[in-house]
Structure 1
């Protein structure tokens, strides 16, 4: 099947099997090398990037559709997934300009909604476990630092901005560290994560005192080797205590 045939098939699926006018966009956050990152797709044959997403089939719930998109792009199941905003402005983007930038044929008459509202989801993933996978509309799926994003199609720059603001607001009552950190980590590495999310530095001694005082970490009999001066102890989350802290609202440390 040629690329054009796939496009026509995709448009027909949208017209026949999906809820017209309702889509979703997923902001997939990962953390690597002290930087908060987001997963993006590059459209075939262009330099244009966008968020993973798509339309919602009639047989799917919105959450199931988001889970499907995330699995297809990351290879992971059972991710932490949070719906955070409905993007429903009357004019979210210039349709004609967008199609020209994508260098793609305009869909046939009646196959594309005149207006689309989008459910915004953010996902938190362990960067090391993700296998970035493009779809047939794109040729690259890759990570970008949230502070160094390329030019994005549609209103996806705003979607990422709102997702990041939501993440910051929910820092003390969502399992952000649990989902973005690897299984074992040091206290300085955990601090770098929260600094990356907040976009500002934190006092090391104060952070160490507060985070260890929450009783949500277990120190292991292992150290991070290969450091120039010190070999700090490794930690992992105490899951029962972590969950209790989330439920009781006792996770305030920044």
Structure 2
């Protein structure tokens, strides 16, 4: 929603096009400078940050809606996307007053007040999805009601609006659990990478250290990566070999679940 008229149309008629009690919140993970980061936005009139998200159209599937919302927010398609939980227990989601207190500063930008009878004040359940993106390829689409955005390192997430801190923690727990069954690094690294780079990625996600030699051996044994004939010159007497993910084995691992015991 980039114009005032689009926002007003959403406020007054959104319940006709979207399911009014069901939304999607997206935890968008990116990796940069050996840090796992999450994309956050700050809505107009708010001190706290929140996660990007949106509503599900009446004529689209839930996952289809998640892909659409992510494309609108990041300009990226064909992302790794995983549904991980449904949120509806927090006081914010069950209390109309708290909902109005959160919404009204945002919509004041277009001169709208959300009252008790408005569809946006009703209790809304949220389906959580996490996405893995190439940090450098993300282009955040400007929105009228969003004043700014940032990438925040996962160990330094500030207090967020709604129940979004709970959503982030649940997404991170799910990512850490699934990294043992799915070759998640494919979505966060460049097409060609060194062993230290993929090693650092897994350590950043899991928040712990492990032996580099065993890590390389296990990845190669599973067939998830393969060594290239290319080397990257990074200094005197330092030219490590480059690796890439094996696309066929990667897809097979996604379908069957490859167990990576680190």
1:95-174 superposed matches below 5 A: 95-99=99-103, 102=106, 104=108, 105-108=112-115, 109-174=117-182
Larger helix fraction of residues:
2
State how far apart, in whole Å, the 2-side matches of 1:148 and 1:91 are. 24
Is the 1:120–1:159 contact (alpha carbons within 8 Å) kept by the matching residues of 2? yes
Within 1, Cα distance between the matches of 2:45 and 2:101? Answer: 16
Distance 2:86 2:131 in 1: 16
State the SS of the aligned residue for 2:155.
coil
1:215 aligns with 2:219: no
Question: TM-score, normalising length from structure 2?
Answer: 0.87
**Which consecutive aligned stretches of 4+ in structure 1 deviate over 4 angstroms post-superposition?**
2-6, 100-103
Aligned to 1:238: 246
Check the 8 A contact 2:99/2:121 in 1, yes or no. no
Q: Which of 89-98 and 51-60 deviates more? A: 89-98
After TM superposition, the score normalised by the length of structure 1 is 0.90
C-alpha RMSD of the superposition: 2.4
Name structure 2 gaps, 5 residues minimum: none
The change in CA–CA distance for 1:23 and 1:223 in structure 2 (over 3 A counts) is: same
**Cα pair 2:135 2:188 within 8 Å, conserved:** yes
Give matches, 1:16-165, under 5 Å. Answer: 16-89=16-89, 91-92=91-92, 94-99=98-103, 102=106, 104=108, 105-108=112-115, 109-165=117-173
Q: d(CA) in 1 for partners of 2:119 and 2:223? A: 55
Q: What does the per-residue CA deviation read over 1:27-64, in whole Å, with 9 as the maximum and x for residues that have no partner?
A: 11111111111111111354331111011111221111
Distance 1:4 1:74, change over 3 A: closer
Segments of 5+ residues of structure 1 without an aligned counterpart are: none
